[in-house]
Chain A
Amino acid sequence: MSGWTRKDLVGIVDLSAAEIGTVLDTAKSLQEISTRSIKKVPTLRGRTIANLFFEPSTRTRISFELAEKRLSADILNITGSTSSTAKGELLKDTIRNIESLKVDMVVIRHSCTGAPHRLAEALNVSVVNAGDGINEHPTQALLDMFTIREKKGRLKGLKVLFVGDILHSRVARSNIWGLTKMGASVVLCGPKTLLPPRIEELGVTVTTNLREAVKDADVINLLRIQKERQDQSFFPSIREYAIAYQINSEILKKAKPDVLIMHPGPVNRGIELSSEVADGPYSVILDQVTNGLAIRMAVLYLLSGAKSIESKKE
């Protein structure tokens, strides 16, 4: 049906526009499941999925876990603190052990770029990247694109602005690959210290001037600013960061009346985003959370190679 052939989802960089479209369409068809009184389909019944979170995560982990449950998969949760990695066991050995337990799929979050890629190469089972280092967070980009498409009816031709720490953002990087493939134009805005070198060569526009950048944006996607970047001299203070790069109702006066405000969470209220905007009418932050579930169900379903979503209803 879908023509999906990939074993793994490690990066949006690898996907074609058609493949991204397939994930988004599949997610659309799965969305309804979560509105039923019995929110469960038997699609992945009898399959085991290991969630390996070597880096703290609440939202992404919970979203994956719930998606797996709604597809009736069996789940193995391993987090950085409970796994053997703290004891110096090699990541590869951890995974090989899990593979020996006949797990069918591995969802991995890791603080090192490339960890999911190396695993996907080493393992026969499907690997889903739930965020690697400062590189990619594919399901986040997919749910962001899904949300934009849901609200705006399209991606092509839209102007999507990212504000904040682009340098260390896997959300931004995955979105850049995805949105440019889908025909949207991407604008990146942040202090120069937090903009990756030569990123404009990926076909995006770069600016340090937020006031100008918000003017014609259809979507503003905020990135979480981490306080420890101040210690590394990326910016002088959180206070100054907020003065220059906070999205608040004042600056939104310059924006389009139908602009969407997005944030991958968790929000630093009062720093990158003011509370009134986070909770205001432009904000689709909670829709992102809801849609994340459908996207992750779609990804797991497509990678599983299951023939259909509900061969028999439970």
Chain B
Amino acid sequence: MDVIIQNAKVIDPKNKTNAVLDLYIKRGKIAELKKDIQAKDVPVLDAKNLCLIPGLIDLHVHFREPGYEQKETITTGALAALKGGVVAAVTMPNTDPPCDHHSVVDNIIRKAREVPFHIFPAGTISQGRAGKYLSEMVDLKRAGIWAVSDDGDWVGDSLLMRRALDYASMLDLLVITHAEDHRLSADGVMTEGLVSTKLGLRAKPNASEDVAVARDIELARLTGARLHIAHISTRGALDFVRRAKSQGLLVTCEVTPHHFALSDEALVRYDTNFKMNPPLRSEEDRKAMVEGLKDGSIDAIATDHAPHTQEEKMLEIDHAPCGVLGVETSFGVAMTELYHKKVLSFEEIIHKMSVRPAEILKLPAQFGQIRVGDKANVTLVAPDHEWVVDPAKFASKSKNSCFIGQKLKGKVMATVCDGKLWQWEKIS
């Protein structure tokens, strides 16, 4: 595919670019990046007043295939991601069958390529995510996984986790932990605190996350493994991460848009679109997340995109599954809550949503930056464009967003993924 994106403000924090330039994509590759590119018979996209940034990378999505295609497929998930400006994502392995066998990895990567979209799958830590035997990480890595995680089933067995971290570090695989002591969480459906007491909902304390993060960090210290804390949500857990980082451990973490944008008060109507895991925390924790983004202790913004059908979300709050959509709103929410509220600069947003995720995963050079010669993976955005989140317009198969009806400022206008241009909005 050939196209010239003209007059875009190119912002590429890694290469310290911040200038109005033209970008010439020739047969999917970035051929030129400079002022006033002239070429005959090449379609032109006038991106005046828009920003061209490295394609966003989401470290945490659930595309549900194989096994739960009624919620999302790799194709619909990828389209939703592309619509959100995301060019690459780490899929979590809680599929059916789980991603603990090379054939599952093959299937995921092949289906993503057909879109085309980049999936860097996470394989399981343990076979069947059962927390008993290590999964075949050598074989899985050969098949194409970039990380391991048992996702929602935290590895409760500390010895197994120690072995997993040792084994994964031998392969330089990132270990992603959904840190939660499920015994402590018990049957909680929201975070424990004044709001849960007021609402009469069963609740889980922050400590269920804090103690699990603390253990995993100590095991990372013991093994020297690269540990990534998924969807951090409490002040206490973040303090453990800060301490680990200051001691030079290879510990990173991500936060979801809903955990820095919303707090437990959102549950007042018992709306299941606000039920997720970890749950929305207190306003104090939310502020701590914003602070962590600002001071750099939180490396990345990842969505934990978790599609569920309307039938499932129609259930009572005790029975409805945890999780909310994310990929189509993450840029808008980040811009609204962090950029327009002057928490982060535009470069810092790109850093958290593209540069840093690429570094954490150790991705090839075509990700997290805009470089001549690489396959084009870039996103065209309008930082001040206001829009209202409308589930009818979602590309995702599911509609369970916690931002429905919200007005956001900052929109993805077009995405170029693996050299293919997707235009979402009219660009003058």
Which A residues lie within 8 Å of B196 (CB)? Answer: 196-197
Which A residues lie within 8 Å of B341 (CB)? Answer: none
| Distance (whole angstroms) from the CB of B315 to the closest CB of chain A | 7
**Complex: A196 Cα to B198 Cα, angstroms:** 9
| B317 & A113 in contact (Cβ 8 Å cutoff) | yes
**Complex: A113 Cα to B199 Cα, angstroms:** 8
| A90 & B318 in contact (Cβ 8 Å cutoff) | no
| A134 & B202 in contact (Cβ 8 Å cutoff) | yes
Interface readout for B309-324 with A: 1 if CB under 8 Å, 0 if not?
0010011111100000
Q: How many residue pairs, one in A and one in B, have C-beta atoms under 8 Å apart?
A: 64
User: Which of A114-122, A179-187, A271-279 is the interface stretch?
Assistant: A114-122
Given A135-B199, A135-B200, residue A198 in contact with residue B314 (CB < 8 A): no
| B270 & A117 in contact (Cβ 8 Å cutoff) | yes
Which B residues lie within 8 Å of A112 (CB)? Answer: 316-319
| A90 & B311 in contact (Cβ 8 Å cutoff) | yes
| Distance (whole angstroms) from the CB of B22 to the closest CB of chain A | 52
| B201 & A133 in contact (Cβ 8 Å cutoff) | yes
| B200 & A113 in contact (Cβ 8 Å cutoff) | yes
| B194 & A201 in contact (Cβ 8 Å cutoff) | yes
| B193 & A198 in contact (Cβ 8 Å cutoff) | yes
A61 on the B face (CB < 8 A):
no
Interface readout for B20-62 with A: 1 if CB under 8 Å, 0 if not?
0000000000000000000000000000000000000000000
Interface residues on A, range: 20 to 34
| Distance (whole angstroms) from the CB of B279 to the closest CB of chain A | 14
B107 on the A face (CB < 8 A):
no
Specify which of B196, B270, B319 lies most central, judged by the most chain A CB atoms within 10 Å of its CB.
Answer: B270
Given A113-B270, A117-B269, A118-B316, residue A202 in contact with residue B201 (CB < 8 A): no
Of the A-B pairs whose beta carbons lie under 8 Å apart in the complex, a sample of 21, sorted by A's number, is A90-B311, A90-B314, A91-B315, A111-B318, A113-B199, A113-B200, A114-B199, A115-B316, A117-B270, A118-B270, A132-B200, A134-B201, A135-B200, A136-B200, A173-B200, A196-B197, A197-B193, A197-B205, A198-B193, A201-B194, A202-B198
A156 on the B face (CB < 8 A):
no
Interface readout for A20-33 with B: 1 if CB under 8 Å, 0 if not?
00000000000000
**Complex: A303 Cα to B196 Cα, angstroms:** 28
A92 on the B face (CB < 8 A):
yes
**Complex: A70 Cα to B194 Cα, angstroms:** 41
| Distance (whole angstroms) from the CB of A152 to the closest CB of chain B | 27
User: Which residue of B186, B205, B318 is within 8 Å of A113 (Cβ)?
Assistant: B318
A110 on the B face (CB < 8 A):
yes
B150 on the A face (CB < 8 A):
no
Which B residues lie within 8 Å of A110 (CB)? Answer: 316
Which A residues lie within 8 Å of B201 (CB)? Answer: 113-114, 133-135
Q: Residues on B close to A: CB < 8 A?
A: 186, 192-194, 196-203, 205, 269-270, 311, 314-319
Interface readout for A130-154 with B: 1 if CB under 8 Å, 0 if not?
0011111000000000000000000
Which B residues lie within 8 Å of A133 (CB)? Answer: 200-202, 318
A194 on the B face (CB < 8 A):
no
**Chain B residue nearest in CB terms to A170:** B200
**Chain B residue nearest in CB terms to A54:** B316
Which B residues lie within 8 Å of A201 (CB)? Answer: 194, 197
Q: A117-B270, A121-B269, A202-B198 are in contact. List 19 more A-B contacts (CB 8 A).
A: A91-B316, A112-B316, A112-B318, A113-B200, A113-B201, A113-B202, A114-B201, A117-B269, A132-B200, A134-B201, A135-B200, A196-B196, A197-B194, A197-B196, A197-B203, A198-B193, A198-B197, A201-B197, A202-B197
A238 on the B face (CB < 8 A):
no
Which A residues lie within 8 Å of B200 (CB)? Answer: 113, 132-136, 170, 173
**Complex: A258 Cα to B193 Cα, angstroms:** 37
Specify which of B196, B201, B316 lies most central, judged by the most chain A CB atoms within 10 Å of its CB.
Answer: B316
**Complex: A199 Cα to B196 Cα, angstroms:** 10
| Distance (whole angstroms) from the CB of B198 to the closest CB of chain A | 7
- Ranked 3 nearest A-B pairs via Cβ: A135-B200, A114-B270, A112-B316
Which A residues lie within 8 Å of B315 (CB)? Answer: 90-91
| Distance (whole angstroms) from the CB of B66 to the closest CB of chain A | 24
Which A residues lie within 8 Å of B318 (CB)? Answer: 111-113, 133
Interface readout for A97-121 with B: 1 if CB under 8 Å, 0 if not?
0000000000000111111011001
